[in-house]
Structure 1
Amino acid sequence: MPTDPVLRELTARQLDAWLPGALQRSRRATLAVAGAPSDAETPEAAVRAVGAAGAGLRGRRLTVLVLADGTEELPARLGAAEAELPTEVAVHLVPGDHTRLPVALKAAGAAGAPLLTVVDWGKEGPLLNAYGREGSPSCTPAGAGGPPVEGAEGTGLSRAVLAAAASGRPAELLVVADTPVRAALTERFPLVAEVEWVPADGAPPRLVAFATGSDRGLDAFKAGLWEVAGQLGGRLRDPADPTAVPLAATTDPDPAPLGRELLAELARSGPRTVTELRRHTLTATGYRSADAVRAVTGLLDAGAARRDPEHGRLGGDVVIHAGASPSAWSGS
């Protein structure tokens, strides 16, 4: 599988957002990167992004684990990148794919400290191979990686791999895949976003997912995703609605589709705070949290929703109710 530029660029941006907070929270942290076979660029980009952190690493310890197979040039490229790193960073190349994560993370002592894991699942996604079609556990792990569902092709993602990726305090997981991963990730992480990436060149879409326990981390992921989409010309779509028109990552997206989705959420779940609607936007749509505020403002202006309290700043604790006339919201 060739290098995935989406994963490469997202990894660098997520590191920029994750690393300062991780090193402020703890004196040690771990980054684990398991790219696709023959992908040397994503691990190298991750190591170079670590080096850009510079002075923030003083007095801290960062372990970088690179799980890879099938590329002869990777050791030399990693060695050149590692030579520019401060002594506080240790880079370890581990032969194998993501199924080796439990062993590698245990050996590195990653549990209990900040952990960011970056993985390309490839075509053998966890729902089909380790969780069944509905995402419910359908096998008992054995060994480091755990077995796939009986009769399924490929090795997939085991519960042991997910448990290892979730062992950090806190833990975050960035994934690109060819099959849905949300149902598997929600077993271990409270906040999960999954977006379909539609390439500009007509190549088959891929799924990009991020799992975390932090609203701030989720916000940073979406901001980085939009930056990469703008840079590479990709478009974003809700995997649950493959017939929808892909969303262009512009600086000023049309708020109408998101406004309709937020009205539907209010109808399903009842009144929600602005914070809850922003979280719903991050986890259930391709939009960013800032887009949610714009969409809610549009709903209020159109009379399709009302707020409590009625006046003042539209802060996170303001409660939004569906208005008497949802059809008033048509966008502009």
Structure 2
Amino acid sequence: MSERVRRPDPHLAVKREVLVRYLDAWTVSVLRSHRSATYVESGTTVFADAFQVFGEFADRLDGHHLDMLIVGPETGQVMVGEAPAGLSVRSVADPANLSVAGPALAYLDVVDSALTEQDAWQLVTSLARGRAREVLLALPAAEQTENHRERLRAAGSACMVTVELVADDGRAQLLVFATGDSKHLATFKNELWAVDEFAGIRYRDPLDIERTAVDISLTPQLRPLRRVLLAELARRGSCTVAELQQHTLLETIYRPADAIGALTAEAAAGGVTREPVKGRLTPRTVVGHIE
């Protein structure tokens, strides 16, 4: 009788795919704009994936330097294959000894690595002291969302998204991305929703009062977003679609383009006013709250 094959953890599968997808975009960006950059990772959970991504850019590394740092207790000696010219790999056992210059992206997972939350937040604070610094955090679902948003803002990351990864059995983890560049936040969200929708994970916005879990899809369910936009519109009275798209980007798990779909549905249902009253909604369209 063959041994039953253990199914991979769905949380880890989604985290790995999100990271790989964003690493592709991030690497292109930093190699185009900078001569050097650093990728920091806690432990070796997804190290092979990141190493493979950077290897695919070997032809673009000429004249550049990309540093991979594996940080945290029990890291030990990092074993890798042949690294392309321009890519170096090293380990740092004590997070307090980490020093980074130039742009950096850190993937810090305190659920599936030996890194503690205290060390993770110490690294976030340290890494944020510079331009073009970004962090992707995996945290226990019990972590207070507002608390970590405040900590990230204090560290210098003005743009962020927090999404709960909810498995079929109800287990959840938090995935947090923070950056100082709203365009990079938009890029991350595009990759977030492009993940394999059959991974056994749904997304949930920790700030959603109804705690609705949404299937991963390029065309996701928008009801939670409609609630958020109606609440924001009630607060403002009226505003342009572009302003609500910006609110969507900075305050929800959704993409700016999703705001168009949500507002179009609300306008068709008579839930908001719009000016002009006909035609497709555009960023310049003004929508208003109905009492």
TM-score, normalization by structure 1: 0.72
Cα contact 1:193–1:283 (8 A) shared by 2: yes
Unaligned runs of 5+ in 2: 1-8
Which residue, out of 70, 89, 92, partners 1:91?
89
Q: Quick check: 2:165–2:175 contact (8 Å CA) kept in 1?
A: yes
Q: Could you list the per-position Cα deviations for residues 48-82 of structure 1 after superposition, in whole angstroms to 9, with x for gaps in the alignment?
A: 1111223222221111111143366x723xx12xx
Q: Secondary structure at the match of 2:211?
A: coil
Task: Using the aligned pairs only, state the percent identity.
Answer: 32
Alpha-carbon displacement from aligned partner over 1:112-159 (angstroms, at most 9, x marks no partner): x22111111349xxxxxxxxxxxxxxxxxxxxxxxxxxxxxx762586
Match of 1:320 among 267, 286, 289: 286
More displaced 10-residue stretch of structure 1: 154-163 or 169-178:
154-163
Q: Give distance in 2, aligned partners of 1:197 and 1:279.
A: 23
Distance change in 2, residues 1:158/1:206 (3 Å): closer
CA RMSD of aligned residues (A): 2.8
Matched, 1:175 2:137: yes
Do the aligned residues in 2 keep the contact of 1:307 with 1:320 (CA within 8 Å)? yes
* Mapping of residues 30-49 of structure 1, within 5 Å: 30-35=38-43, 40-49=44-53
CA contact (8 A) 2:70 2:92 kept: yes
CA 1:311–1:22: 2 relative to 1, 3 Å: farther
1:284 to 238, 242, 251: 251
Distance 1:278 1:56, change over 3 A: farther
**1:103 paired to 2:97:** yes
1:183 to partner: Cα distance:
2.5
Superposition pairs for residues 1-332 of structure 1, below 5 Å?
Answer: 4-35=12-43, 40-70=44-74, 75-76=78-79, 79-80=80-81, 83=82, 85-96=83-94, 100=95, 103-104=97-98, 106=99, 108=100, 110=101, 113-122=102-111, 156=118, 160-178=122-140, 179-180=143-144, 181-187=148-154, 188-200=156-168, 202=169, 204-228=171-195, 230-241=197-208, 243-307=210-274, 314-316=281-283, 318=284, 320-324=286-290
Q: TM-score, normalised by structure 2?
A: 0.81
**1:192 corresponds to which letter in structure 2?**
M
How many Å apart are 1:92 and its aligned residue?
A: 1.2
Separation of aligned partners in 1, 2:249 and 2:225:
11
After alignment, is 87-96 or 244-253 more displaced? 244-253
Uncovered stretches (5+) of structure 1, i.e. residues with no partner: 124-153, 326-332
Secondary structure, counterpart of 2:90 in structure 1: strand
Using the alignment, how far apart are the partners of 1:162 and 1:302 within structure 2? Answer: 44
Separation of aligned partners in 2, 1:58 and 1:314: 45
Aligned CA distance change for structure 1 residues 303 and 242 (closer, same or farther; 3 Å):
closer
Shift of 1:9: 2.0
CA contact (8 A) 1:259 1:295 kept: yes
CA contact (8 A) 2:62 2:85 kept: no
| SS of aligned partner of 1:169 | coil
Aligned equivalents of 2:198, 2:130: Cα separation in 1: 31
How far residue 281 of structure 1 moved from its aligned partner, in angstroms, is 2.0
Of stretches 241-250 and 207-216 in structure 1, the one that deviates more from structure 2 is 241-250
Q: CA deviation at 1:191?
A: 0.8
Structure 1 273/27 Cα, relative in aligned 2: closer, same or farther at 3 Å? farther
